[in-house]
Copies of this chain bind each other. A is one copy, B any other.
């Protein structure tokens, strides 16, 4: 008797291989979220507070149980903004352009980590509030690749590729940043505006078009 789970695993691996051979990768839709510095975590949740992991995302990154409220210059609030762990060197808020019209802010489109000169925001937690002077961005469209996948496709860290989306609202995203690291999954990350524009949801497949 063949173990059913072994068959299922083999089928899944074969299907994933075929998709990969055709340059198809999975979509991960990023909701608005925040990465906190140790210092800001102390202010918002209390000195020495440790985040509680809710769900592993990729490598060491996880969604925490904790949420905060954002308040913009409009004095309007967006509640229940998920905190992502672990703590980072700098606090970074990632929102969609749709959110910017509620909060009345003009953050730049940036790769994660590039917060110099970006937007301001008030962040409110259960133990205090932070007036963040820079750190609010609209995250750029980007693709995470493993070194094996990237090498196999002739793509390098930092390359820009195009991405084709099929379906009811067919779309091409140009100049999508590729990031390659050992602990990444093979996944394209887009925000909710990109997902809703192109009719994409978590796990949908898109096609990488290597420009070289």
Mark A residues whose CB is within 8 Å of B.
96-98, 109, 140-141, 168-175, 192-194, 196-199
Q: In the complex, given contacts A97-B199, A109-B199, A196-B197, what are 18 additional A-B residue pairs having Cβ atoms less than 8 angstroms apart? A: A96-B196, A97-B197, A98-B98, A98-B192, A98-B193, A98-B196, A109-B168, A140-B169, A141-B169, A169-B173, A170-B173, A171-B171, A171-B172, A171-B174, A172-B174, A193-B193, A193-B197, A197-B197
Q: Which residues of B contact A196 (CB under 8 A)?
A: 96-98, 193, 197
Q: How many copies does the complex hold?
A: 2
- Mostly, the A contact residues are mixed
Q: Which residues of B contact A141 (CB under 8 A)?
A: 169
Among B96, B170, B197, point to the contact of A198 (Cβ < 8 A): B197
Q: Which residues of B contact A174 (CB under 8 A)?
A: 170-172
